[in-house]
Structure 1
């Protein structure tokens, strides 16, 4: 059996993190959970994931700062961003812009199927 695709989930809400982890693990993904952006950066440095799922609002390091840090190390890293609703970045950095791609933006509440579909699109190179 081939190695499972590694997914890093950065989510500060314990119930949401556990739910996402369970759904992905049942689908055969290898999942690492980080409770904030700083922990996610460290986990990605020590055990790189093929794709990252992140919330935007987290303590210590928010999702936008996490994305910037991850993209400095790996500009093409696929990302799934979950948020209550896309809000303008105070720095004027629109996460839907070209410099943030490949990225799937999911507005909460997010169903497990939408997360799985977003992962498949990113891992298949954008195929519908």
Structure 2
């Protein structure tokens, strides 16, 4: 099977993943790395925000419900610094208020994924987000 590996400037795209469940983070990381991404894991939104400031990523993959800084607040803070950063949200529980806030922050509906979701779909959504930019 031929894997469609994404490229950003000739290198594997760097994805910052904010996910507070270690088992889910490990599965996602392995699947995304197999799909050609370089993945950095942050165990909550606050750690992700610090990591992104130190080492900017090519895309952000975030959960919504996390300790210390939730996903919507993380997206809001990242958008202030990097308004064009491609963002994909992956959550097991997202309210209509969360969805509306994310839409207002420029995250398209098709980049808001509900758990459980096939890992291939997460990789494809990131690939499409990187190819079309933050606000498609």
Into which bin does the TM-score normalised by the smaller protein fall? 0.7 to 0.9
The question of 1:4 aligning with 2:12 is answered yes
The question of 1:88 aligning with 2:96 is answered yes
Query: After the TM superposition, which parts of structure 1 deviate over 4 Å for at least 4 consecutive aligned residues?
Result: none
Mapped to 2, the partners of 1:67 and 1:99 lie a distance apart of 7
Indicate the larger mover: 79-88 or 30-39: 79-88
Mapped to 1, the partners of 2:114 and 2:26 lie a distance apart of 18
Deviation at 1:125, TM superposition (A): 0.6
Q: State whether residues 6 and 29 of structure 1, in contact with CA within 8 Å, keep that contact through their aligned partners in structure 2.
A: yes
Structure 2 counterpart of 1:72? 80
Mapped to 1, the partners of 2:52 and 2:71 lie a distance apart of 14
Mapped to 1, the partners of 2:120 and 2:41 lie a distance apart of 19
Mapped to 2, the partners of 1:7 and 1:102 lie a distance apart of 18
Structure 1 counterpart of 2:126? 119
TM-score by length of 1: 0.87
Q: State whether residues 12 and 35 of structure 1, in contact with CA within 8 Å, keep that contact through their aligned partners in structure 2.
A: yes
Query: For the aligned residues, what is the CA RMSD?
Result: 2.1
SS of 1:81's equivalent in the other structure is: strand
Q: State whether residues 20 and 67 of structure 2, in contact with CA within 8 Å, keep that contact through their aligned partners in structure 1.
A: yes
Aligned residues: 124
Question: Structure 2: any 5+ residue segments left out of the alignment?
Answer: 1-6
The question of 1:97 aligning with 2:103 is answered yes
Q: State whether residues 102 and 122 of structure 1, in contact with CA within 8 Å, keep that contact through their aligned partners in structure 2.
A: no
Q: State whether residues 36 and 58 of structure 1, in contact with CA within 8 Å, keep that contact through their aligned partners in structure 2.
A: yes
Deviation at 1:124, TM superposition (A): 1.5
SS of 1:4's equivalent in the other structure is: coil
Question: Structure 1: any 5+ residue segments left out of the alignment?
Answer: none
